Amino acid sequence: MLARVADNLFWMGRYIERSEHVARYLNVNYFSSLDAPNLKSQDRQFVLRSMLFMVGDPEEDTDKFLKEEDVLYKIGLDPTYSASIINNIKFARENANSARDLISTELYEAINKFYHFVVNYPKDIFVKNGLHDFTTHVAEMTDILRGKIRGTLLHDATYAIISMGINIERATQITRMINAKFNDALLSQGGENNMFSKSFEWTTLLKCAEAYDMMRRFYKKTPTSISTLEFLILNPNCPRSVMNSLNQVNQHVKILNPEKRYNKDSTAFLIGRVRSEYEFKYIEEIDQDIKSFIENILKSLVVISDKVDEEFFSY
Amino acid sequence: MENIENQIFSSYLRNPDLYDEIHDEKGKVKEVYQKLFNLYGEHSINDYVLLNNKAKSSFFNQGITFQVYGENNVQEKIFPFDLFPRIIDPVDWDIIERGSIQRSKALNLFLWDIYHDKKILKDNVVPIELITSSANYLDQMNGLNPPGGIYNHISGTDVIKHKDGKYYVLEDNIRCPSGVSYVICNRTALKKALFGVFNHYQTHTVTNYAENLLELLESVKPGGVDVPNVVVITPGMYNSAFYEHSYLAKTMGVELVEGRDLFVENDFVYMKTIKGPEKVDVVYRRIDDQFIDPLEFNPDSVLGVPGLFAAYKKGNVTLANAPGTGVADDKAVYTYMPQIIQYYLDEEPILNNVHTYHCSRPDELKYVLEHIHELVIKPVDEAGGYGISIGNKLSKKEIEKVKAEIKASPRKYVAQPIMSLSVHPTYIDDTESFEQRHVDLRTFTILGKDKEFVLKGGLTRVALKKGNLIVNSSQGGGSKDTWVLKK
């Protein structure tokens, strides 16, 4: 596979995954805040700020009044904002375009339909009453794309590269969500019924990761900070956990370069090391300093992504 | 004008002065179209409105589009596709197929000759000035032997059916002819929309193009290569034919590369893969001569690969089509095609050339001056349709003016009979009805080492504007699925 095309497919995977997480974050936060058990979590300003924080564009001015329609438009459909959902999908399609000969017709057509859905979504409807419709559609269409990727592509290097992009991005987005909700839980604490460790925000976080039901099944208890983080970071069977994503990346990198696995400068080696580090972590370790732990994961993911770039895409 | 009895054709106006492909001169539907005509008649026009919209959105979702750059936005458009297929019966097809191969072979021999011994020029069959004055003649190709002896691996021949019912070639395209992917898309779209009609006809498939193309490209591999590595090179995804480039690469199962994905080392060509450099042996290039190698041709080109031509010269890589083929498909050489075919193949041309009168010859000048009202007068040295006079559109005063100009410098002008493209029923969006529109046909011929293949189908282009004779997509042309029937 051409290095340039591999680069594009890697990023196609990342943009597809990213658009889904941003969409779900908007959806879950907005709608669960409507009947949240405490005033802080119900506050619209609080929710809008959390959204901006999650996409990496926090509003620093704590007194500024945010207009709901502006924030939703910016993150959803603003073509001039590079991290908006519409741009993620534009970039995903552009990357797919340049690899059109490699991917299946079915996958390309699905991406193309997705693109047309998003670019043709009426702005006014979106900001007034289309948030649920739009974001659930986006999430569903990304599911279709992952289905087409898994079900119609040859499981060779092309598939491995796309899957690596998807999983690195998934781990990144889950960590960003954890970061945002960790921040929200800190901000919203106070009062007897709203301790940090039992914050309503942990439930929201699990829902953002579509992991709430399974978490309840696994722990059979109301989510706390510690159980939520353990589930979303360390549980290898939770499909959206950081651990699960790292395992996937580790499997796929082996397809690309099996013979280089034990070469200490290879991507496979690096991923193996990072993966092992998390495999043998326990939650109490993380709980001591959640903030630096989150920063470390994000850093490791960037290092992995850079290494992929260096080994496979650069000439 | 006569009306024809059939529900959806009830308002079909048949102009008896035009050659209608589905009706005979008495207005009766030709036998080969009879079943199709009846099947289409079972539907109401509303069905077609619906099907037409469905077909449009199918092209859109498949991303078979081209981009139109507006003032502040980029719009995606689809190439208009017509729901009524064109049928070519086996007898006619036999002529078209043999004729396309004959022309492609003759052009290949002509190219070999003018880049080697130049016998045809020495024998004064084709005037030497025609070649030396051509901007598309590449000195670099002189004496070079392309692998397999093939220059025009892929040819697109534009054919029309004239009023007299005979096929004429309007143009040979042997640089980077495009359009073949639309042949296949059109078939797919029609099958989705009206699958029932296919049960009643034995139509040749068009999906075998890619496998034949790959076989051809592998047959002209450079010497010493066992299993050649074939790639398609494209100017990139913003090129209007990018869909076709990606389609061909995908269906051949080969890499689609851009110039920046390749590099040349010690006169061998490599592509940059995720596992390091990989040697490339055959390049199906969809980039024009001038842009393939900045070291040899246009130095500003960023689309090409520095050193590619040197590798080609060394015989380490095959380029298809070969550089320098453009010299043989221009207007001036076209007029000599019957002589070129005769000279190399010792055969009569199977497809007609539009006859050309050279005003430089006194007897032909006399004919031209006497028959201006039925001729098209073209200056030989202008391109893009400039300076053309169409005889039957001129006033008496204008005719005298043109005559004076020709007499003043007869060498500057050639004349051709006014050709009338055949017409075919075509679904028209605006009026929601079927109407007569002019059509042509582009055939795709593949020449390899001891191998030739013509795609049994071809691209029927339709001039969607009423009365218009220009079928190019840039001029609002559409296209039709084209059925070649089995014998």
CB nearest to B62's CB, from A4, A109, A256? A109
Q: What is the CA radius of gyration of chain B?
A: 24
Full residue range of the structural domain in which residue A191 is found:
3-313
Contact A25, A31 (CB under 8 A): no
pLDDT in tens, B58-98: 888 888 887 766 666 777 788 889 999 999 999 999 999 99
In the numeric block, the tokens 């060509």 are attached to B269
Verify whether the Cβ–Cβ distance A108 to B63 is below 8 Å. yes
Q: Cβ of B274 and A312 within 8 Å?
A: yes
CA angle A218, A224, A227 (to 5 degrees): 45
Could you report the predicted ipTM of this complex, rounded to two decimals?
Answer: 0.85
Domains of chain B, residue spans: 223-316, 355-417
Contacts of A256 in chain B (CB under 8 A): 274
A183-192, B68-77, B315-324, B427-436, range with greatest mean pLDDT: B315-324
What pTM does this model have? 0.88
> How many CB atoms neighbour CB B450 within 10 A?
8
Angle made by CA atoms A156, A161, A163, in degrees to the nearest 5 = 95
- What's the rounded mean pLDDT across residues A104-122? 95
**C-alpha atoms less than 13 angstroms from C-alpha of B284 in its C-beta half-sphere:** 29
Which one-letter amino acid corresponds to residue B21?
A: E
List the single best residue of A1, A2, A93, A104 to mutate versus B (max B Cβ within 10 A).
Answer: A2
pLDDT tens for residues A53-69? 999 999 999 899 999 99
pLDDT at A38: 82
Identify which of A2, A112, A312 has the shortest CB distance to residue B61: A112
Q: Which tens digit of pLDDT belongs to each residue from B25-39? A: 888 999 999 999 999
Structure tokens given for B207: 């999906």
The structure tokens listed for A103 are 């991917």
Shortest CA distance to B187 belongs to which of B445, B434, B455?
B455
d(CA A171, CA B128): 70
Residue B384 corresponds to which tokens in the numbers above? 């893009």
Separation of first and last alpha carbons in chain B: 34
CB within 8 Å: A101 and B271: no
Coil, strand or helix at B4: coil
DSSP B72: S
* Cα–Cα distance measured from residue A157 to residue B96, given in angstroms and rounded to the nearest whole number: 44
Asked if pLDDT for residue A197 goes beyond 90, the answer is no
Single out the residue of B233, B180, B192, B266 nearest to residue B460, CA to CA: B180
Q: What's the confidence (pLDDT) of residue B240?
A: 83
* Chain B residues within 8 A of A3 when measuring between CB atoms: 261, 272-274
pLDDT band at A280 (very low <50, low <70, confident <90, very high): very high
CB-CB contact of A168 with A304 (8 Å): yes
CA B64 to chain centre: 19
Residues of B in contact with A101 (CB under 8 A): 232, 245-247, 249-250, 255-256
Specify whether the CB–CB gap between A163 and A248 falls below 8 A. yes
Helix ranges (DSSP H) in A77-130: 85-97, 105-119, 123-125
What's the pLDDT at B381?
64
Q: How many helices (H) and strands (E) does chain B have?
A: 13, 22
With an 8 Å Cβ cutoff, are B274 and A313 in contact? yes
CA B352 to CA B347: how far, in whole Å?
13
Mean pLDDT within B282-307: 94
Give the mutation candidate from A100, A111, A307, A313 for the B interface (greatest B CB count, under 10 A): A100
| Percent of chain B topping pLDDT 90 | 62
Helix or strand holding residue A44 (H, E): helix A44-54
The model's pLDDT over B162-199, given as tens digits with 9 standing for 90+, comes to 988 899 998 899 999 999 999 999 999 899 888 888 99
Minimal CA separation from B244 to chain A, in Å: 10
CA distance B64 to B244: 9
Predicted local distance difference test score (pLDDT) of residue B3: 43
Greatest CA span in chain B, whole angstroms?
Answer: 72
Minimum CA–CA partner of A93 in chain B = B63
Interface contact B261-A108, CB threshold 8 A = no
For A51, A226, B40, B57, B187, the CA distances from B191, given in Å and listed in that order, are: 47, 58, 14, 15, 6
Q: Are A183 and A225 contacting, i.e. CB atoms less than 8 angstroms apart?
A: no
Looking at the DSSP assignment, which residues form a beta bridge with residue B454?
A: B445
Q: By mean pLDDT, which of A169-178, B349-358, B380-389, B459-468 is the weakest?
A: B380-389
Split at pLDDT 50, 70, 90, the class of A244 is very high
With a CB cutoff of 8 Å and minimum separation 6, the contacts of B18 are B163, B420, B422, B423, B436
Element holding B434 (H helix, E strand): strand B433-448
Give chain B's mean pLDDT.
90
Please check whether residue A174 is in contact with residue A245, taking contact to mean a CB–CB distance below 8 angstroms: yes
Comparison of pLDDT for B383 and B220, the residue scoring more: B220
Percentage of residues in chain B with pLDDT exceeding 70?
96
Instruction: Give the architecture (CATH level 2) of B223-316.
Output: 3-Layer(aba) Sandwich (3.40)
Q: Which two tokens stand for residue A56?
A: 């990496």
> What pLDDT score does B385 carry?
55
Residues of A in contact with B256 (CB under 8 A): 5, 100-102
What confidence score (pLDDT) does residue B5 get? Answer: 57
Helix axis angle for A212-219 and A200-208, nearest 10°, is 120
Q: What pLDDT shows up at residue B1?
A: 41
According to DSSP, residue B29 is labeled: B
Q: For residues B138 and B473, which has the higher predicted lDDT (pLDDT)?
A: B138
Mean pLDDT of B328-342: 89
Distance, in Å, from the CA atom of B40 to the CA atom of B24, rounded to the nearest integer, reads: 19
Alpha carbon distance A117, B25 (integer Å): 50
The better pLDDT of the pair B469, A194 is held by B469
Strand partners, B2: B14
- Name which of A84, A151, A108 is nearest B237 in CA terms: A108
Length of chain B: 487
Spell out which residues of chain A touch residue B62, defining contact as CB-CB under 8 Å. Answer: 105, 108-109, 112
Neighbours of A169 (CB within 10 A): 24
Chain B contacts of A112, Cβ < 8 Å? 61-63
- % residues pLDDT > 90 (chain A): 85
B141: Cβ contacts below 8 Å, ≥ 6 apart: B115, B322, B323, B324
User: Cβ contact (<8 Å) for A112 and B255?
Assistant: no
Confidence of residue A198 (pLDDT cuts 50, 70, 90): confident
Length in residues, chain A:
315
Element (H, E) at B233: strand B230-233
**A2: pLDDT strictly greater than 50:** yes
Contact (CB<8Å) B260/A4? yes
Cα A172 from Cα A177, distance rounded (Å): 9
Is residue B383 very low, low, confident or very high in pLDDT (cuts 50, 70, 90)?
A: low
Task: Count the domains in chain A.
Answer: 1
Q: Would the CA dihedral through A260, A266, A271, A274 be positive or negative?
A: positive
Q: Which residues contact B187 (CB under 8 A, 6 or more apart)?
A: B206, B207, B457, B481
**B355-417, CATH topology level:** Dna Ligase; domain 1 (3.30.1490)
**Could you check whether B223-316 and B355-417 share the same CATH topology?**
no
